[in-house]
Amino acid sequence: MQANIETLGALERRLSVVLPQEKIASEIASRLKRISKTAKQHGFRPGKVPFKVVEQQYGPQVHQEVLSDALQQGFSEAVRELKLRVAGYPRFEPKSSTGPVDAVGNAAAQIEFSATFEVYPEVVLGDMSALTIERPLAQVDPADVDKTLEVLRRQRVRYEAMGEAMSEAASRPAASGDRINIDYRGSIDAVEFAGGKAENFTLVLGSGQLLPDFEAPVIGMRSGEEKSFELTFPADYHGKEVAGKTAQFVVKLNSVEAPVLPEVDAEFAKSMGVADGDVAKMRAEIMSNLVREMNKRVQAKLKDAVMQALLDATQLEAPKAVVEQEVQRLMQDARRDLERRGMKVKDLPLPPDLFVEQAKRRVNLGLILAELVKQHDLHATSAAVRDAVTEAAQSYEYPAEVISWYYAEPGRLAEMEALVLEENVVAWVASKAKVTDKRVSFDELMGKST
C-alpha cells in the first residue's frame, strides 16, 4: 500500500492511497465462493447454482462491499502510519477507474483513491499565570435565614374570609396579597370580546395573574362592591384581537380572603422535617443548606470564569466536521427540551445557525480541557468521584439510595466523573492564575432581587 498526504488548509487534509488489485480480486472471489455454497436459484438445488450465475447475480454487490472495506482498511492503516488524529468522517473519491472486477481478477493492477478529511488542531495552551480570574465572595447571614423562612411561610399561606364571613366592622378593602373572587365582563365599543368575561374567578392580587392595570382598580374595593373602569391593552399583548385597544370593564368583588402566614414555632419546625420541633435546629439546617447552595454557586461562577479565560488564552480553529456534529446534538437536545415542555416540535424549524457559536465554544473547550488533563494528569480518581456523589446525595431525603442509584448505571457515574474532571481543571487553573475576590451579597450571588 502506498500513501501520500496533502495539506489543503489549516485542518483539511487529502490522503491518496494506492491498493493492489490482486488482493481485492482474491477477496471478491472468496466471498462469491462462500455465497455459492448456499445460494438459491430457481431451477437449481441450494448450493448447486453454477458459479457464473452466482457471479452475475451477486458480483456487483460483492465488488462494492469488498472495495468499500478495502478503502476503509487502507485509510485506517495509512492514518495509523502517519499518526493522524482524524476529526469526523472522511470523504472518499476514486482517482483512477477501477472498472468491473471478475472472480479471476481481470482488471487494472491497482486501485487509487483519495480521502479528504479534517484533523484535530494542535492545542497550544496559553500562559496560565497571565490569566486574571474574578471569584465572587459571599457569606450567609442570619438575615438570609430570615428571608428564607419568610419564603417558606408564604409557601404555606392560608386565607381567611373577610366581609360576609366576618362582622362588618372587621371587613376591610382588598389589598395586594389578598385572595379575591370576582365576576367581570369587558367590552370594546360596547361589544363583548372573547376572553373578556368570567364569573367566580379567583386570583391573588399582586401575583401577576392579570394585567397590573386590571388589578389596580380592584385594590381598595370591598366585598359586594362593583366598579367600572377602562383598560388599554399593551400593543404587544398576546391576544392580537385586543392588543393596543381600550376596553371598558365592569368588575364585581364577590369575596376577599386575607393571607395568614404560619408562626415560626415548633409546629412550623416539625412541618419542615425537624421531628422535635426545635426552631434553633431548624434555623441551623436552613443555614447549612444556604451555605451549601452558596458554595455551589461560587464554584459555578468560578468555573464559568475559568472556562472563558481558557478560551481567551488559547486560540483554536475547531474542526468543521466536529462542530457540525455538535450542532446536531444541540438541536436534538433543544427539541427534546421543547417536547418535555409540551410543545409539538415535529414541524418547528430550528435553524442550525442558532447553535453554531455554542457548538464551536463547546468543541474548543473540550479540546482545551482534554489537553490540560493529559499534560497535568488531572483525571478524576474513583475516590474523588465517590466524594462528589456523596456530596450530591446530601440534598436528598435518603442519601444512601441516591448513591446506589448513581453506581447502578455507568452512564450516571460517567456524568459525575466528567464533573469531577472539570473541577480538577478549575482548581488547577485557579492555582496558577491570578484570582481576585469580589465581595457580593448572598442575594446578588444567587440572582435574587432585593
192-223 pLDDT, tens digit per residue, is: 999 899 999 999 999 999 999 999 999 999 99
CB of 294 within 8 A of CB of 446? Answer: yes
Mean pLDDT of all residues in 81-106: 70
Spell out the SS3 assignment of 336-396: HHHHHCCCCCCCCCCCHHHHHHHHHHHHHHHHHHHHHHHHHCCCCCHHHHHHHHHHHHCCC
CA distance 207 to 222: 19
| 72 phi-psi bin (left φ>0, alpha ψ -120 to 50, beta other) | alpha
Judge whether residue 279 has pLDDT over 80: yes
Mean pLDDT of all residues in 111-131: 90
Burial class (CB in 10 A: 0-12, 13-18, 19+), 273: exposed
**Tally of CB atoms within 10 A around 374:** 11
CA distance 86 to 12: 10
What amino acid is encoded at 105 in this protein?
G
Q: What is the pLDDT of residue 449?
A: 62
β-strand partners of 186 = 249
Mean pLDDT of all residues in 76-89: 89
Q: Count of residues for the chain?
A: 450
Average the pLDDT over each of 42-56, 137-151, 176-190 and give the range with the smallest value. 42-56
What is the value of pTM for the model shown? Answer: 0.72
User: Which among 300, 304, 312 is positioned nearest to 127, based on CA atoms?
Assistant: 312
Mean predicted lDDT score pLDDT of the chain: 89
3-24 pLDDT, tens digit per residue, is: 788 999 999 999 888 877 888 8
Q: What is the largest CA-CA distance in the chain?
A: 110
CA distance 130 to 191: 70
- Cα 355 to the center of its chain, rounded Å: 12
CA distance 108 to 80: 27
Judge whether residue 404 has pLDDT over 50: yes
283-317 pLDDT, tens digit per residue, is: 999 999 999 999 999 999 999 999 999 999 998 89
**Tally of CB atoms within 10 A around 21:** 18
CA distance 31 to 352: 43
CA distance 432 to 424: 13
CB proximity list for 205: less than 8 A, separation 6 or greater: 174, 175, 176, 177, 178, 179, 180, 215, 218, 219
> What end-to-end distance do the CA atoms of the chain give, in Å?
72
Of 106 and 39, the structure prediction assigns the larger pLDDT to 39
CB proximity list for 338: less than 8 A, separation 6 or greater: 345, 348
CB proximity list for 232: less than 8 A, separation 6 or greater: 213, 244, 245, 246, 247
19-50 pLDDT, tens digit per residue, is: 778 888 888 888 888 888 888 777 777 778 78
Query: For cell 502506498, what's the residue?
Result: 2
Radius of gyration of the chain (CA): 35
Q: Give the helix/strand (H/E) hosting 272.
A: none
In this structure, what DSSP letter does residue 78 have? H
CB of 234 within 8 A of CB of 247? Answer: no
CA-CA-CA-CA torsion sign (45, 47, 49, 50): negative
User: Which among 445, 357, 432 is positioned nearest to 129, based on CA atoms?
Assistant: 432
CA distance 100 to 153: 82
**pLDDT band for position 103 (50/70/90)?**
very low
User: Which among 55, 23, 61 is positioned nearest to 39, based on CA atoms?
Assistant: 55
At 91 the three-state DSSP class reads: strand
349-393 pLDDT, tens digit per residue, is: 788 999 999 999 999 999 999 999 999 999 999 999 999 999 889
Q: What is the pLDDT of residue 101?
A: 45
At 127 the three-state DSSP class reads: coil
CA distance 371 to 366: 9
CA distance 54 to 102: 11
β-strand partners of 259 = 159
User: Which among 114, 126, 123 is positioned nearest to 11, based on CA atoms?
Assistant: 123
**pLDDT band for position 338 (50/70/90)?**
confident
